[in-house]
Structure 1
């Protein structure tokens, strides 16, 4: 059974956004957009030189992404004991929800095709389409030639395979030592946590420079004769993501009706404060206390609530997965790449893993995008274009993530020991 503290705290997730000068990051991003537009219009084609800023920042993020994802997954698996039926059920529920979310994103993006006509192709130096891959190629690429090669190429599939092998080994060592009353394993866990926190500190410094990347990419795009078409396409991307997130919320409500016999209105009324808090803070971890109170009012036991809302913070990122899958396919359309079904399967698998790794990383959905781009051979230098809308969509997808946590908590409580639920109900009644 999962273990957690009475008042759980999501370590390393206290502040989801860097605050340069004490001002929220999204304010700097919006200011950069409004400042870059007149600069691009005035400078014209000369603003192309400002494209150096986003290229440098993306290179820095790409360098940090692989070790961050590895340490995030290792730390999440080793630090949380999710053995037992409830832990297994939770992971299955999260897997199903995430797959459904990515399905919504890919279907809508293939149907609406928001990236077509975005004019992101540089006709003087057009990007080379990624080579077609067979199933055999995918299987061979799962095994790296060396550990260093996996990191050097930012190959997410290889990194995850190595990470899972290490995590399983560490968990077995931890369990064996706990059975013998030994605590030597804690030194390794502490080292992982410190390493993760150290990289996050460096990441926050890079994230603080994101407004400069936004300024550079907006100014250089506006300076081109057809650059404004890029931002028209981004409006369509926002629409597609919002429709997808709405479909995901409807999925949650349908699941509540069918399996929990809970009316959608009751669930939404119970989640009102949670949605407001999550949208305003853009942080799943910061909303945990509000989520726990809301689940208690819905009659969910304390154990199921803490398992889904606290441990689940590291693993459940339905909205993030939907956005990442949509963003990658959008960029492929904008660059004129036709992704095959195999390529889209790669997007699903890498996004599934990246969304788990992004759970403990500030601005994680953006940080891990270069890894997903690399998996299907897309150039990462156009990613900063997405930053102009990421500050808004981040709040929307985080809200969807928390609703997913609440849904899983209710489902877990259906299979929870009735005696425990009764005790929790009595505890709540006496408060």
Structure 2
């Protein structure tokens, strides 16, 4: 029995914690009338301590983890990848599809309003972005006038920009700064290990936050979660069956239907494995069978598995709108543009680190001053959504690779169309 319990992985423990939190919360809401037991003892003390402690641990991770991973990633990519027109084209295309994905998540969540009904407007929080701040002011606030202060205060965007600058300079100076590069590389390993340790406590945090939510709000909190799931999956489906085919038709005139028929085994593997990295070998093999040059796919697919996370971007767009609706926050155009820009950076910069989707959502929420409580609740359904996110991530890598290959005469049309083997 003990051995069977040990075999349960973290994602399943989080799911179990979510279900138990829901059951306990609903039981308290429906059947416990003693305010001392329900509110004073459990909700305001035990559950509050467990949930808040986990949230504080996640906050502790974000700034040093993001800073070190971006410094190391920027230095290594610029230094080891042969930067040329093809590489730049791949990166620009990845950023473009990520931007579309974020906007799609924001648009669908704005229409379906998943956060309405969660009624968390009474919670006290301070937002860093308000509707009456101009876009120019928000852009100026992204420039780190005091990077140490930005690091200390958890200001995510200035921290990211400073990290990009430091990483780029490390790459330019190369061996002259090997000691500094080694420091960041080793510290990044420490932060990744710390992330694994903190995430082991996620079931406790999820249970406490779920129990608190449903003990306070009751069954009314369930429908917004279902609507959030629908928003994410709907946005992913639109990205897969509308956005990607349109891009293929515009840039290549090749048949998206023909491509999907041949590529479906890769999508099924990605969906079941929930790992973009594990799908890389099969992805490369299938693209080669479709007539794609190995020279381009061997660069674009591993790079895409690292920085091209359209599924994560969609979830971030949905999550930020879900949270702002739940907390009754009205966004102006300036704030919305800033949030979209932040989400793109968060999606790209958090890729490749443990629990990338959760870490990037932490970055996004912290950048606009929203509480992280809702993220911990979303974690309970994250593994289910991760299957869809991974599939769209892998599909996006393949579509961008096809477009770049076609534009650089590195795609055999006859093989792609099945006219020759």
* Interval of TM-score (by shorter of Structure 1 and Structure 2): 0.7 to 0.9
Q: Label 1:299 to 1:186 Cα distance change in 2 as closer, same or farther (>3 A).
A: farther
Does residue 76 in structure 1 map to residue 95 in structure 2?
Answer: no
The residue number in structure 2 matching 1:366 is 358
Q: Report if aligned partners of 1:109, 1:240 keep a CA contact under 8 Å in 2.
A: yes
Please say if residues 253 and 264 of structure 1, whose CA atoms lie closer than 8 Å, have aligned partners that are also in contact.
yes
Aligned ranges 1:63-142 → 2 under 5 Å = 63-80=60-77, 81-122=81-122, 126-127=124-125, 131=130, 132-142=132-142
Does 2:224 correspond to 1:227?
no
Match of residue 19 from structure 2:
34
User: Cα deviation per residue 1:16-64 (whole Å; 9 max; x = unaligned)?
Assistant: xxxx934222211221122223322344434413132222112111111
The correspondence of residues 99-248 of structure 1 with structure 2, limited to 5 A, is 99-122=99-122, 126-127=124-125, 131=130, 132-174=132-174, 183=175, 188-224=180-216, 226-248=217-239
Which structure shows the bigger proportion of residues in helix conformation? 2
TM-score between the two structures when normalised by the length of structure 1: 0.85
After superposition, what is the alpha-carbon deviation per residue over 1:130-166, rounded to whole angstroms, capped at 9, x for unaligned?
5442234324322334322111222122012211211
Size of the aligned set, in residue pairs, is 392
Check the 8 A contact 1:32/1:212 in 2, yes or no: yes
Residues 25 and 218 in structure 2, CA contact (< 8 A), matched pair in contact too? no
> C-alpha displacement at 1:290, in angstroms?
1.3
Q: Does the CA-based 8 Å contact 2:127-2:368 persist in structure 1?
A: no
CA gap of 1:128–1:199, structure 2 versus 1, over 3 A, is closer
The superposition leaves residues 174-201 of structure 1 with CA deviations (integer Å, 9 ceiling, x where unpaired) of 3xxxxxxxx5555554443332222111
Q: Distance in 2 between matches of 1:270 and 1:78?
A: 37
Residues 196, 300 of structure 1: alpha-carbon distance in 2 compared, 3 angstrom cutoff: same
Q: Which runs of no fewer than 5 residues in structure 1 stay unpaired?
A: 1-19, 175-182, 426-430
Note the 1:282-361 alignment, pairs <5 A: 282-361=274-353
Deviation at 1:277, TM superposition (A): 1.8
Once the two structures are superposed, residues 223-278 of structure 1 have per-residue CA deviations (whole angstroms, 9 ceiling, x without a partner) of 22x33222210111111111111111121122223322332222212322221222
Of the structure 1 ranges 30-39 and 157-166, higher mean CA displacement relative to structure 2 is found in: 30-39
Query: Are 1:62 and 1:367, in contact at CA under 8 Å, matched by a contact in 2?
Result: no
For residues 395 and 203 of structure 2, the distance between their equivalents in structure 1, rounded to whole angstroms, comes to: 30
Q: Is structure 2 residue 6 aligned with structure 1 residue 21?
A: yes
Aligned to 1:249: 240
- Deviations 1:79-111, CA, capped at 9 Å, x for gaps: 222410011101110111011111211111111
Alpha carbons of 1:152 and 1:253: their partners in 2 closer, same or farther (altered >3 Å)? same
SS in 2 for 1:310: helix
Instruction: Give SS of 2:351's match.
Output: helix
Q: Partners in 1 of 2:69 and 2:83 — Cα distance?
A: 19
Task: Indicate conservation of the 8 Å contact 1:115/1:330, yes or no.
Answer: yes
Q: Out of 342, 358, 382, which is 1:390 matched to?
A: 382
Q: How far apart in 2 are the matches of 1:193 and 1:293?
A: 32
Give the whole-Å Cα distance in 2 for the aligned partners of 1:411 and 1:77: 25
State the superposition RMSD in angstroms.
2.3
Q: Secondary structure at the match of 1:271?
A: helix
Q: SS state of the match for residue 360, structure 1? A: coil
Identify the residue that residue 34 of structure 2 maps to in structure 1.
none
Residue segments in structure 2 that go unaligned for 5+ positions in a row: 30-37, 416-420
Instruction: Work out the CA distance in 2 between the residues paired with 1:338 and 1:320.
Output: 24
Q: Provide TM-score, normalisation by structure 2.
A: 0.87
Give 1:121 deviation, angstroms.
Answer: 3.4
